[in-house]
Chains A and B, each alone.
Chain A
Amino acid sequence: MEPLLSVNKLRKAFGGLVAVRDVSFEIPQGSIMGLIGPNGSGKTTVLNLITAELSADSGSVTFQGKEILGLQSYQVCRSKIARTFQLVRVLPHMTTRENVMLGRMFGSDPTTPTEAEHEADVLLKRVGMAGRADLFASQLTYIDQKRIELARALATRPQLLLLDEWLAGLNPTELRIGIDLISQIRREGITIVMIEHVMEAIRALCDRCVVLNAGEKIAEGTAQSVLSDPEVMHAYLGVDDAAA
């Protein structure tokens, strides 16, 4: 079957620093792929290139068979790719409900404010935010802001969801809820790419993982296999510690 998203020799340099060096991978429809690697390895840059937050130097990204490199961010969103941000981003002086309505009103299947309002409430309930719809986003805790970010992304009606460390900073209970939520989203047929450092979540959720180090793909495979790959251990822990 044709992959939902395929990334081909994607490259991005900032001055002399090559942040993403000819990275290629494919994501089958309905799967969860983990994008992992040490800090600064280029994971978020890959996400930013796919969603046109940054423009790539070369390479291609095809989604449902169509080239999406060269589209603008809003067009990427409308073609059914949604994302969250590593440092949580909400509309601080708008209510929780309005934050989610935004996605529904302007995403891939735009609708009227009235309908968006109704659906925002349904989504908020789903991410465990029922009853907080009228609070301003700035009044919410970090975790709750992450929840409305997810609800906003889902409100755009994506087929591909890009999560940038969405599970980071959760306590063990919240982590379990978060993992359940993500697998539930997958069961609905939404394909997911997640940048993550929480190994528990990677093992529980990811069908496959791509490992980046210093902008290059150094391994790809099941979570089990890449995490025991010596080169991946070197990248994370340094050569000496990995050997010990």
Chain B
Amino acid sequence: MLENIKKAPYATALIVLGTVVLAFVPMFVSGYIMSVFILLFANVALATAWSFFSGATRYISLATAAFFGIGIYVLAVAHVYVPIPIALAAAAGIGFLVALVIGLSTLRLRGVYFVVFTFGLTELIHQVLNWWEIKINRTVSRYIFTDISNVSIYETLLAITVVTIVGSWFVSRSRLGFALRAIGEDETVARHAGINTTLVKVICFALSASVMALVGAVLALRYPYIDASIAFNNTWSFQVLIAALLGGPGRVWGPMIGAVPLVLLSEFLAGSFPHHFSIALGLCFVVIVYFLPGGITRLVLRLYHSWHAQYMRKEAH
């Protein structure tokens, strides 16, 4: 761990400084700005968690909304009976366990089959929960009453986001991260080189899902009222995927770089053109696929490399 910090002193300093500055932001800004930050943190954490698994292994998951929704529901049910921190931990834990079971049964699917399955899974959980609530619990929705302040939500999400990014960074430089990348490159080779690919995939899928569930649970503290359609909204799955692709899923910083402009854009659109958000999201997707296949990070790296090469040539003369 210390070795990694020594190897990347600037990144470490940037994280520490950024975290400290952001931690004090609520003292100086309005409630609206704070809620924009909350949305930013949530998206960055989700996109980073998504990319941690899907970016490295190229198992493109559309189940973000499923785990996010599970987090929301666990909190909505649990906050009545237990203190909030325990409800949050339960959300992360249940997200982890559900992903473990799903992972074991489905991570043998590859490519488009996995994508379609994860999309269907979200819908399945959504509908089953809806049926359960109506038939068994005789309700369509739940209320969430807490006295948690927006500042607490802000700080909690900031902490989750920082831990997710730093954790994902450490893993990317570890043996586990290497194994994940190898699986993404060629799973057959990885398997025949001694990697227990099933174990690696399932564990990382579950870790990623537990972050998604936790983020859902924290955001739920802001919702006075939830139902299955709010919790399991597929827009989350797509927005997170697009944010990660826009930034560049191959690097730890990529999803963050993609999520920030996307959230700001969606905030702007939601205010000024509430009905055009999906169109903008769709356009973003088209632009990324056609012009930015490696995301912003790869574009910047390529520009840097060509500038660097030119600079070296000039130096040589």
How far is it, in angstroms, between the C-alpha of A101 and the C-alpha of B188 when the chains are bound?
Answer: 16
Kindly identify, within residues 83 to 99 of chain A, every residue whose CB is under 8 Å from any CB belonging to chain B.
83, 85, 89-94, 98
Given A53-B188, A91-B186, A91-B189: A106 and B197 interface contact (C-beta under 8 Å)? no
Q: When each residue 66-87 of chain B gets 1 if its CB lies under 8 Å from chain A and 0 otherwise, what string results?
A: 0000000000000000000000
- Chain A residues whose CB sits within 8 angstroms of the CB of B178 once the complex forms: 98, 101-102, 105, 113
- Chain A residues whose CB sits within 8 angstroms of the CB of B188 once the complex forms: 53, 85, 89
- Chain B residues whose CB sits within 8 angstroms of the CB of A76 once the complex forms: 192
B3 — nearest CB in chain A belongs to which residue? A114
B201 at the interface (CB under 8 A from A): no
Given A102-B189, A105-B175, A113-B175: A74 and B182 interface contact (C-beta under 8 Å)? no
B196 at the interface (CB under 8 A from A): yes
Interface residues in A, total, Cβ within 8 A: 29
A53 x B192 contact (CB < 8 A): yes
Chain B at the A interface: SS class: helix
A213 at the interface (CB under 8 A from B): no
Given A53-B188, A74-B195, A90-B189: A106 and B179 interface contact (C-beta under 8 Å)? yes
A78 x B194 contact (CB < 8 A): yes
A73 x B191 contact (CB < 8 A): yes
- Count the A-B residue pairs with Cβ separation under 8 angstroms: how many? 69
A91 x B182 contact (CB < 8 A): yes
B182 x A51 contact (CB < 8 A): no
A60 at the interface (CB under 8 A from B): no
- Chain B residues whose CB sits within 8 angstroms of the CB of A94 once the complex forms: 181-182, 185
B186 x A110 contact (CB < 8 A): no
Given A94-B181, A113-B178: A106 and B193 interface contact (C-beta under 8 Å)? yes
A74 x B185 contact (CB < 8 A): no
Q: What is the CB-to-nearest-CB distance from A136 to chain B, in angstroms, rounded to a whole number?
A: 11
B281 at the interface (CB under 8 A from A): no
B185 x A156 contact (CB < 8 A): no
How far is it, in angstroms, between the C-alpha of A93 and the C-alpha of B191 when the chains are bound?
Answer: 17
Which of B190, B191, B198 has the most A CB atoms < 10 Å from its CB? B191
A91 — nearest CB in chain B belongs to which residue? B185
B193 x A152 contact (CB < 8 A): yes
A84 — nearest CB in chain B belongs to which residue? B192
A77 x B192 contact (CB < 8 A): yes
- Chain A residues whose CB sits within 8 angstroms of the CB of B198 once the complex forms: 72
A90 x B186 contact (CB < 8 A): yes
A51 x B193 contact (CB < 8 A): no
Kindly identify, within residues 44 to 84 of chain A, every residue whose CB is under 8 Å from any CB belonging to chain B.
51, 53, 72-74, 76-78, 82-83
A42 at the interface (CB under 8 A from B): no
- Chain B residues whose CB sits within 8 angstroms of the CB of A91 once the complex forms: 181-182, 185-186, 189
A107 at the interface (CB under 8 A from B): yes
B191 x A74 contact (CB < 8 A): yes
Given A94-B181, A102-B182, A113-B175: A107 and B189 interface contact (C-beta under 8 Å)? no
Q: What is the CB-to-nearest-CB distance from A168 to chain B, in angstroms, rounded to a whole number?
A: 19
A6 at the interface (CB under 8 A from B): no
How far is it, in angstroms, between the C-alpha of A101 and the C-alpha of B179 when the chains are bound?
Answer: 11
Kindly identify, within residues 192 to 223 of chain B, every residue whose CB is under 8 Å from any CB belonging to chain A.
192-198
Q: What is the CB-to-nearest-CB distance from B177 to chain A, in angstroms, rounded to a whole number?
A: 10
A92 x B185 contact (CB < 8 A): yes
Q: When each residue 96-132 of chain B gets 1 if its CB lies under 8 Å from chain A and 0 otherwise, what string results?
A: 0000000000000000000000000000000000000
8 A-B contacts (beta carbon < 8 Å): A74-B193, A77-B194, A85-B189, A89-B186, A98-B178, A101-B178, A107-B193, A113-B175
Seen from chain B, the residues whose Cβ lies within 8 Å of a Cβ on chain A are 175, 178-179, 181-182, 185-186, 188-198
Seen from chain A, the residues whose Cβ lies within 8 Å of a Cβ on chain B are 51, 53, 72-74, 76-78, 82-83, 85, 89-94, 98, 101-103, 105-108, 110, 113, 152, 156
Please name 5 further chain A to chain B contacts, defined as beta carbons within 8 Å, in addition to the given A93-B185, A94-B182, A110-B194, sorted by A numbering: A74-B196, A90-B189, A91-B189, A105-B178, A107-B193
